Structures are given as C-alpha cells and as structure tokens.
Structure 1
Amino acid sequence: MPETSTEPAPSEGVRAEPRRQARGTARRDAIVRAAADLILREGPAAVTHRAVAARAQVPLAATTYYFTGLDDLIGAAGRVIVEGWADHARDAAARAVRRTASGRLAGSAGADAVVDAVLPPGGEAEVRGFYEHLVGAGRYPALAHAYAEGRHQLDAAVAHLLTLLGVHGVNPALLVAVVDGAAVSALSEGRDVRGLAVRLVVDLLGDDGEQR
C-alpha cells in the first residue's frame, strides 16, 4: 500500500499563509487600538501588557509577541492616535464644505472650520482632558516621539483646509498653535474655549477669509 502523506499539499499551504498573516495583522491592530484607547482614556501609565490584552481580548503573550516592549507598543499606539487627529481634521473640512453652497469658506465659517479641525469633539470636559493628555504625553518619550513624528499629518490636513479657505502663506502649524494656545488660556481662565479660539483665528485670517 502506498504511503499517505499527512503534510498539506503545496497549494493548501499557500492558501493558509495569507490567512495566518491576515489573522496576525488583525490581532496586532487590535492590540494597538486597545493601547491607544487606554492612553486616551486613562493615560500612558495605564498601558500594561495585562490591561492591553484584556481590552483587546487576546492572550497575554500576544502583547509581547508583536512588540519588543511597552515603549514599542506605546509608540505604535501614538501613531494611531495622531492618524485619528488628522482624520478628524479632514472630516471637519469636509463637513464645512458641505455646509456651503459655493464650496468656499470665508469669515467666521472658515474660522469655525479651523477650530473644529483642531479641537477634539465634545464639550469642555473633553477639551480639558485632551490638553491635559497632550501636556502629560511629554513625560513618555515613546509617545512624544510618535506625536512629533506624525504631526505632519495634522499639519497637512489643516493646510488642505487653508486651501479651501483661499488662504495662502499661513503656516498650518501656526494655526494649530493659535487654537491650542486659545484653548489653554480659556481653560485656565474659565472662559469659553471655542469662542476665544474662533475670535483669534478670525483675527489671524481676516473677516473675509483672506490673510491680513
């Protein structure tokens, strides 16, 4: 009787490999998203192998299989967080354009769009938590590096918004800094964050959406 092989045929192995890779990618992504969620909700100190594994619903060993350590994981999560900020800014620009018949933004409508793009969604509690998080991120080099490395994505999204505004020659990083500064000032002085930010952006861009 001829021997029967228990090894899979080459074609079966070829088909199985992409499936294993897809499962591995999905598991790694789930771990990173879980770490990012912990960072945003509870702070970087909350990122432990056990906490991430529980939130991602994966075996504890998976968090060490895909990452060399917590710094590696925090850095990956930080990159995902920055991508989320850029997506938020792009969505804000798209929403603003849909609200205008001409597709071109001007005046306070343009300033509102800029502020929407930079500030997090939600009310004062969410804004306060966001800026407290940003200040604290500097204590974690891996997270700070990820934020600095990915900052160009947010700047690019704001630059696109400036194009829609018809504004040229304004550094998008300057606009982000203006909104950030307005938020910190307003939070520390008990003033309305959005109102102050919009007024300062209008002053910077001009009432008609053109740079003064």
Structure 2
Amino acid sequence: MTDGRRARGEQRRADLVAAAAALVLEAGPAGVSHRAVAARAGASLSATTYYFADLDELLAAAGADLAAAWAAHARATVESADAPPAELLVRAVLPAGDAQHVRGHYAHLVGAGAVPALARAYAAGRADLDAVVAGLGLAWPPEVLVALVDGAAVAALSEGRPVAEHVRAVVSRAL
C-alpha cells in the first residue's frame, strides 16, 4: 500500500471512530450502528465492516477516543488555569459545553456499562483521567474525587439544578 493510500485509510478509520464517538454522545451506545456511523462519517456502509471486525470493535475504538478526549480536557484545564485545586477539579471532570452537552455526557456514561466493549475502553482510559486528578494534590484518592463530581452532577441533572453551580457547592463542602 502506498503512503498516500495508507494515510487516506487511516483518515477514513479515524473519521469512522469520530462518527461513532459523536453518536455515543448524542444518542448513547444504542444509537451506534454500522449504518448510522457510515452516514455520519459520509462513508459507505461497507467501510465500517472493512475497518472494524464488528460493532464491538467500533464501539471500543469510540470509547477509547472518548476516554482520551475526557482526559485531554482535564489535562488542558489543569495546565491552563490558575484556580484553587477544588475549582480545577470541577472544571477538569465536568465536560465543557452547555447543559445539553453535560446531560449527554452523563447519559452516555451510564449507558456505557451495558456495552462491554465500551465499558472496557472507558475502564482502560480512566487511569489517564485519574492521573490528572491525582496531580491536583487533594487529600482524597482520584477515583473518589471523580465520583464526587460525577455524583453531584447526576444529582443536579436529575433535580433540574444548574450543574456546575451545584457541583462546585458540593465539592467545596466536601473538601
């Protein structure tokens, strides 16, 4: 395979992964099908089966992409902001975006556990997020701190409260 063909193939595969990741965020894992991914990526249906053995492999790649993006968001937040560690924790763990984006983030996380390939990808990528949170130097283990933010966010979403404001209040009381 020539370098140009290889690069186009790698780009096509990356486009399919990005499309699957976007669908997971928008519609949850159940919204990901070969047909939906192909349509979203502007690719043929056969491209999804050429680059991925099955839907699980595609979901695993999308999950790895999403987990890496979450850790990258956390890392960029911590590296670029000058704020107290508790505020950095909230900004790093909560996804950027409006209320709809935050709701979609937590909805897809809950749905991920029902899809083994996606759950495995998130579990593998979680170490990167935990490493960023550990770097904040707070007294609690990173998985507890992430759970604190996630739990407060889910409570705010389920109760119709402003998410970031509620999470900040809970985190400041806890820490």
TM-score, scaled relative to structure 2: 0.90
Per the TM alignment, residue 169 of structure 1 is displaced from its structure 2 partner at its CA by: 4.4
> Secondary structure in 2 aligned to 1:86?
helix
Deviations 1:137-174 (A, max 9, x none): 212111111111111111112223x1xxxx25431111
Partner of 2:91: 116
> Secondary structure in 2 aligned to 1:121?
coil
Deviations 1:43-84 (A, max 9, x none): 222222222112212222111111110111011111000011
Per the TM alignment, residue 188 of structure 1 is displaced from its structure 2 partner at its CA by: 2.4
Equivalences for residues 74-113 of structure 1 within 5 A:
74-97=59-82, 105-106=83-84, 110-113=85-88
Aligned length: 175
Gaps (5+ residues) in structure 2? none
Gaps (5+ residues) in structure 1? 1-15, 98-104, 206-212
**Cα distance change of structure 1 residues 125 and 50 upon mapping to structure 2, 3 Å threshold:** closer
Specify which structure has the higher proportion of helix.
Answer: 2
Partner of 1:201: 171
Q: Which has the higher contact order (CA 8 A, sep 6+)?
A: 2
- The match for 1:23 among 4, 8, 13 is 8
**CA distance in structure 2 between the aligned counterparts of 1:41 and 1:189, rounded to whole angstroms:** 21
One-letter amino acid matched to 1:196? H
TM-score, scaled relative to structure 1: 0.75
- The match for 2:35 among 28, 50, 62 is 50
Aligned partners of 2:29 and 2:108 also within 8 Å:
no
One-letter amino acid matched to 1:115? V
Partner of 1:175: 145
* Greater gyration radius: 1
- Percent of pairs identical after alignment? 54
